[in-house]
Amino acid sequence: MTRLASLLKQRETGILVAFLLFLAVTTAINPRFLFSSDGWRDLLLTPSILVLLAVGQAMVIITRSVDLSVGSIVALTAYLTGRLFLDTGLPIAVVVVLAVLAGMVLGLINGALVAFAKVPALVITLGTLYAYRGIMLQWAGSDRINASDIPDAWLTFGTSSLLGIPLLAVVSLLVLAGVAWFMHNARAGRELYAIGSDPDAAVLYGLKVKSRVLLAFAASGALAGLAGVLYVSRYGTISSGVGMGVELEAVGAAVIGGVAIFGGSGTVLGAAIGAYLLTTINRGLPILGIEDFWQRAVVGLLIIAAIVLDKLLADRQHRKLLAERNQ
Amino acid sequence: MTGTDGPALVLRDVAKSFGSVVALRAATLAVDAGSIHALVGENGAGKSTLVKIISGLHRRDGGEFLLEGRSVDFRSTAESKAAGIAVIYQEPTLFPDLSVTENIFMGRQPTGRWGRIDRRAMNTEAHALFEQLGVQIDPDRPAEGLSIADQQIIEIAKAISLQARVLIMDEPTAALSGNEVERLMTVARTLRDSGCAVVFISHRFDEVFELCDTITVMRDGSYVSTDPVDQVDVDDVVRRLVGREVGDLYPKQPSEIGDVVLEVKGLTSLGLFSDVDLTVRSGEIVGLAGLVGAGRSEVAQAIFGVDSYNAGTVHVDGRPVPARNPVKAMEMGIALVPEDRRRHGLVLEEDISRNITSATRRSLSHGGLIWSALERRSARQWASRLEVKASALDTLGGTLSGGNQQKVVLAKWLSTEPRVLIIDEPTRGIDVGTKSEVHRLLSTLAQEGLGILMISSELPEVLGMADRVVVLSEGHVTAELGRDEATPEAVMHAATSSQREHA
């Protein structure tokens, strides 16, 4: 195994160890946190939607961009799903595909603005965060979609399990595996890393920078669309506040999972583990007796700690490489 | 690879302009396969523009461009790469986060089933490439932290695996040590023997004459000559390189030269410059000449205290100037007009009077507040002395012409009443008419007793303006020439002489 790969490995292993440690401590205080059917189910089910968003976010951050609009895309596609169930008799599979496609189109709009208008992604997606949410609010008006509007089969899907693993978790893990394979083994995946590592060099190499950036945003949008339609399956009701603030959780999960905010390094697997850690901490802190007020602060500290750790590791590696060279 | 008749790469009468600035008038270059061809010219002769046209970064405005007999017109670097052209830049651009192997194969990795990258095949080929080049680089390590020499080797490995037939090296040796240059030359010869057409751009004539078989000289964006190396010597080349009348373009008024105002002794900053001695007397203009990257600006920044240095002293009027303290340097009478005036010299969003007074705010403030009236009065005085042409003092800095911006920056520094003025590339980006105005101004300032250290890449400017010329090459002072001794040939010789020769 190469040194670089082993270093990256360390990073993901570190996050995994932190996750397991937290789980162990929380379970020691309250065994029901893990050893009950509800506890086990929640552990796997709750992070599922965030995992999808964190994976998409990681793809975008690796190219040295960021996608702040995913929360609004979740809201818009969740409402679209509800409307399709309510107003048309389309089969569930078609609705799912349509929601994913809708998310992809919204992602493509982000990507096109970033790739062609050359405005920083932070600004573009901050704009579309409000724009997409606005469209959803305008469209929904005072309507609210309830569980009774959703086909029972789809609601059942959200609560069913396969061999003790909730179906939603299965879906998100399959997506994770697919994207991880793509990022590691496909040329396009490696090019996303290259673009994030040095955009100017990517142009000199003759890489198709624009279409790759479009790809990353389209993927992030499509995964947010999938998250939207799964949200409907899990919760049944869709109000105006769906997915609010979840974009920052996705960024947080990616960063905690070792995706460098300046692009070029990190893995979607790390981002997914970050999502698990983040969600589980949110659920576990009350059990540890930490007041509500402090929970967000703890999450914030975690993100800062992750970034500081990244910086320290990068500096150490840089020094090590320079030292080797001077030998 | 050598099967074709005639040269592998031909450019004939290629022209290129950027707006009103003509970068290339009629550039011509013909390179044979299996040859190493030197391309030499002064800074600004158009070599880099020519390279960028060959590599597909720029498109030519006119002229012919033939690759192995076929006319080509590249719109992107990808197209030129696909046609078999590889360019090694002075500072290669690699992906620091990715492994050496990935850097070599990015965008064209060998793939297997389902488009899966075949990492094993990639590693095997990377090992084979490094073996062929006879270098020891771990293909699995990240590109981050590699020396520039190793980065160039990676670019060359990339070119070989692309089976490039034309390899262009744009000043590859500028940042290399002696051993690394040797290694690079060996690699270049290997490539030549395998049938590549190699273009080698360098300012170091010793390397050019050792390595190359043919030499093309460019000047002012035009072709001058092409000769086999054994039919010319360094003096011929230098003469063709400079070949320009200095004339009376820059009217330097004689001025009375007084006592030493600035004295620099043994100034050393590791890796940038070493043991630099300089003196500037009052009323004297000292030209600091040298090639880009020789360390001229770095010396200026160190004297002014923007950058630190490892050894040496700086004195103004006999008093020591502390290191790394620009505020103190300013108080002691040093002023620095930087090269990039838009970035370091001027606040583009502020008006003229604010810009002029920004170095003297302390003396203009009363009780911690700056009074606009005082500011205006001070600014008006300087603006009129330097004939800044603008409708009003509240014109924004960013909207002024290059020449007027330079005057505003000068006014700002002159208002600090310096003893010595360091000015870096005083007329870069300024049109011809205003240039002589800036020169007249510098001349007048010298007559008034100011000591001036002028850094310039334009030889005629240095020769026309300076009472004395100090030449830097690779961070060392290689010559100090009086006004009478300072011929273009002498300055170019000193600027291109390598320290390694003497060592």
Dihedrals phi, psi of B264, to nearest 5 degrees: -115, 130
- CA angle centred on B113, ends B111 and B119, rounded to 5°: 40
- For testing contact with chain B, the best of A185, A320, A326 (most B CBs within 10 A): A185
Q: What single-letter DSSP state applies at residue B329? A: H
Nearest to B243 by CA among B495, B489, B490: B489
- B172 contacts B184 by C-beta, under 8 angstroms: yes
CB atoms within 10 A of CB A319: 11
Contact A197 B111 (CB under 8 A): no
CB B31 within 8 A of CB B8: yes
How close are the terminal C-alpha atoms of chain B, in Å? 40
Q: Among all chains, which residue has been given the structure tokens 């078609």?
A: A94
CB B284 within 8 A of CB B451: yes
Integer Cα distance of B364 and B359 in angstroms: 10
B70-71 β-sheet, strand order: B70-71, B62-67, B9-18, B21-31, B222-228, B214-219, B35-40, B197-201, B166-170, B85-88
**Domain spans of chain B, in order of start:** 9-94+146-242, 248-333+419-428+438-503, 340-417
When mean pLDDT is compared over A134-148, A224-238, B84-98, the highest value belongs to: A224-238
Instruction: Give CA–CA dist B501/B503, Å, rounded.
Output: 6
- The number of domains in chain A is 1
- The 10s digit of each residue's pLDDT in B48-107 is 889 999 988 889 998 899 998 889 999 888 888 889 999 888 778 899 899 999 999 988
Give the residue on A whose Cα is nearest the Cα of B57: A204
- Check: CB of residue B261 under 8 Å from CB of residue B282: yes
| Under 8 Å between Cβ of B471 and B217 | no
Q: Do domains B9-94+146-242 and B248-333+419-428+438-503 have the same CATH topology?
A: yes
pLDDT digits (tens, 9 = 90+) for A94-129: 999 999 999 999 999 999 999 988 888 999 999 999
Q: How confident is the model at residue A9 (pLDDT cuts 50, 70, 90)?
A: low
Whether residue B165 contacts residue B86, with contact meaning beta carbons closer than 8 Å, is answered with: no
Q: Measured between alpha carbons, how far is B162 from A157 in angstroms, rounded to an integer?
A: 52
Residue B476 has pLDDT above 70, yes or no: yes
What is the DSSP pairing of strand B451-455 with strand B420-424?
A: parallel
The architecture that CATH gives domain B248-333+419-428+438-503 is 3-Layer(aba) Sandwich (3.40)
Residue pairs spanning A and B at CB distance below 8 A: 85
Which pLDDT does position B303 carry in this prediction? Answer: 93
Q: What is the mean pLDDT of residues A133-145?
A: 87
Distance CA B453, CA B420 (A): 8
pLDDT in tens, B124-171: 999 998 888 888 888 988 888 788 888 888 988 888 888 889 999 988
Nearest to B202 by CA among B194, B210, B191, B190: B210
Q: With 90 as the cut, is the pLDDT of residue A286 above it?
A: no
Q: Does A161 or B502 have the greater pLDDT score?
A: A161
Cβ distance A264 to B95 less than 8 Å, yes or no, reads yes
Q: Name every residue in B having a CB less than 8 A away from some CB of A.
A: 76-79, 81-82, 93-99, 102, 106-109, 111, 115-117, 140-142, 144-147
pLDDT at residue B261 tops 90: yes
Q: Is residue A82 pLDDT above 70, yes or no? A: yes
Cβ neighbour number for residue B249 with a 10 Å cutoff: 15
Q: Please judge whether A193 and B95 are an interchain contact, meaning their C-beta atoms are less than 8 angstroms apart.
A: yes
Nearest chain B Cα distance for residue A191, angstroms: 7
Residues with Cβ within 8 Å of B400's Cβ and at least 6 positions away in sequence, in order, are B352, B388, B390, B408
Q: How confident is the model at residue A10 (pLDDT cuts 50, 70, 90)?
A: low
Nearest to A197 among B82, B95, B147 (CB): B95
Among B99, B106, B146, beta carbon nearest to A4: B99
Element (DSSP H or E) covering residue B211: helix B205-211
| Banded pLDDT at A6 (limits 50, 70, 90) | low
How far, CA to CA in Å, does B481 sit from each of B288, B462, B466, B488, B495?
A: 11, 11, 10, 11, 12
Tell me the nearest-neighbour CA distance from B49 into chain A, angstroms. Answer: 15
Q: Which residues of A touch B77 (CB under 8 A)?
A: 203-206
The fourth-level CATH superfamily of domain B9-94+146-242 is P-loop containing nucleotide triphosphate hydrolases (3.40.50.300)
Tell me how crowded residue B31 is: count the other CB atoms within 10 A of its CB: 24
Domain that residue A88 falls in: 3-326
Structure-token pair, residue B197: 């057409």
Is pLDDT above 70 for B245?
Answer: no
- Work out the mean pLDDT of chain A and round it to a whole number: 88
Please provide residue B40's backbone torsions phi and psi, each rounded to the nearest 5 degrees. -125, 155
Q: Which residues of B touch A325 (CB under 8 A)?
A: 145-147
Q: Which of B127, B106, B182 is nearest to B149 (CA)?
A: B182
CATH number at residue A322: 1.10.3470
- For residue B99, the 8-state DSSP code is B
Q: Which residues, in sequence order, are CB contacts of B369 under 8 Å at separation 6+?
A: none
Nearest chain A alpha carbon to B162:
A205
Strands B62-67 and B9-18, by their bridges, are: antiparallel
